[in-house]
Amino acid sequence: MSHQRLFRLGDTGEAVAHIRGLVARLGLLPDDSGTPGQTYDEPLDRAVRAFQQQRGLHVDGVVGPLTYRSLDEARWRLGDRLLTHVPGSLLVGDDVLALQQRLLGLGFHVGRDDGIFGAQTEHGLREFQRNIGVPADGTCGPATLKALSRLTPRVQGGQPNALRAEEHIRRAGPQLPGKVVVIDAAEPLVEDPALAASAASITQDLARRVEGRLSATGVQAFLTHPGGRHAAHTPTEAERAEFANRAGAHLCVSLDLDTSPNVDASGVATYFYGRDAHGVRSTAGERFAGLVQREIVARTDLVDLRTHAKTWDLLRHTAMPAVRVDVGYITSARDAERLGEPAFRDVLAEAIVVAVQRYYLSPETDEKTGVLRWSELRRAVTQGPA
């Protein structure tokens, strides 16, 4: 099937039959639904929505490139194929995630458990192989699988990565100068050209305000695409994540606006990398998301839509803690009016900068939510502590 097409309720064809097969294999669609295999019917729509909910995707019942890739990843089980690191063409799938979680539970560092067989996963696998006395070739084959099946993990869940994240924050220290933060102005997914232009203008302006305030505190702040929506090429989420990785960023903040056919939908929500169905969560990302969300809610009248785990490409492919902040609904007259005010965008920018600082503060030195001001952070850099 075409990876760029969108498939939704009412569509027909061989590509729909392929989607039905992938969904049925996951046990989400009865084989005897009574509908021809090439029809995108209501049972398939419900099954796709359930899958999207499980995987931390947009729940819209539409199979686009990201949902299709996720369906393809979900079909792999540990042992179905040889797993190895292939630079430039990384293996991705639930079997990779299962391997990462087993190695993490046994005490071997594989980086984030994201289902992507990268260099850190290869390193952790080689260390495991050296410890059990099999050839340390970095390939998960029959001998390695047999050893994994014999061993019981010492730790369950994400505690190893959580402890590493806490130690990483402690070593980084509370000072902002020297930190690297990437700010991403997302391309709003709005069909209406006027709304799309308005949303892009808001996110780009807010990104520049965050960049300027972070720079004034000594942070090296970078925009993922400073040229804005009129640049020759608008980078994909994966490309923007790679930009943050190349920059050696300590944190990444993506700014976006949500949309809804319900004009009453409004509020702010913050997202971090995680997949609840598999118990996968970036503890550092979740902590950062909570700080950003609470600071914005404390300083504005935006409705609190809380924080949520998602597997969107920007959150999944970044090596550092990354969050996406939907600072309101462009389809809400109330939110759009507030976001159109430069003074309101100043408040949002301050909230995000303060959250960056609080991420690095210990519980003993941290401030209460909504109390710390950007002017204090700037003064601490230019004049020293007051």
8 Å CB contact between 250 and 259? no
164 against 15, higher pLDDT: 15
Residue with tokens 């503060």: 361
Q: In this structure, is residue 361 part of a structural domain?
A: yes
Q: In this structure, is residue 145 part of a structural domain?
A: yes
Residue 367 CA to residue 348 CA, distance in Å, equals 18
**Do 107 and 66 have their domain in common?**
no
192 against 69, higher pLDDT: 69
**Do 136 and 195 have their domain in common?**
no
Q: In this structure, is residue 87 part of a structural domain?
A: no
386 against 170, higher pLDDT: 170
Q: In this structure, is residue 163 part of a structural domain?
A: no
For strand 268-275 and strand 322-329, is the pairing parallel, antiparallel, or unpaired?
Answer: antiparallel
Q: Domain holding 127: CATH number? A: 1.10.101.10
Residue 19 identity (one-letter amino acid): I
Average pLDDT over residues 376-385: 73
Residue 159: pLDDT band with limits 50, 70, 90: low
Q: What is the pLDDT of residue 386?
A: 44
Average pLDDT over residues 157-183: 79
Q: Evaluate if residue 360 carries a pLDDT over 80.
A: yes
**Do 200 and 54 have their domain in common?**
no
Q: Domain holding 258: CATH number? A: 3.40.630.40
Average pLDDT over residues 13-37: 82
Strand residue runs (E) in the chain: 180-185, 220-223, 251-258, 268-275, 280-281, 304-310, 322-329
Q: What is the pLDDT of residue 2?
A: 46
8 Å CB contact between 87 and 116? no
Q: Evaluate if residue 160 carries a pLDDT over 70.
A: no
**Do 181 and 219 have their domain in common?**
yes
Q: What is the pLDDT of residue 80?
A: 96
Average pLDDT over residues 17-29: 91
Q: In this structure, is residue 103 part of a structural domain?
A: yes
Residue 198 CA to residue 328 CA, distance in Å, equals 13
**Which of 73, 157, 179, 152 has its CA nearest to residue 117?**
73
Domain interval for residue 234: 173-382
Q: What is the pLDDT of residue 343?
A: 97
Question: How many domains does one find in the chain?
Answer: 3
**Do 241 and 130 have their domain in common?**
no
**Do 130 and 203 have their domain in common?**
no
**Which of 239, 214, 212 has its CA nearest to residue 224?**
239
**Do 179 and 318 have their domain in common?**
yes
What's the pTM? 0.86
Q: In this structure, is residue 240 part of a structural domain?
A: yes
**Do 280 and 366 have their domain in common?**
yes
**Do 116 and 200 have their domain in common?**
no
Q: What is the pLDDT of residue 227?
A: 61
**Do 266 and 355 have their domain in common?**
yes
**Do 216 and 310 have their domain in common?**
yes
Percent of the chain with pLDDT over 70: 91
Residue 250 CA to residue 82 CA, distance in Å, equals 33
Q: What is the pLDDT of residue 3?
A: 53
Q: What confidence tens digit (pLDDT) does each residue in 207-261 have?
A: 999 999 999 999 999 999 876 555 566 789 999 999 999 999 999 999 999 999 8
8 Å CB contact between 291 and 270? no
**Do 264 and 363 have their domain in common?**
yes
8 Å CB contact between 353 and 179? no
Q: In this structure, is residue 41 part of a structural domain?
A: yes
Q: In this structure, is residue 80 part of a structural domain?
A: no
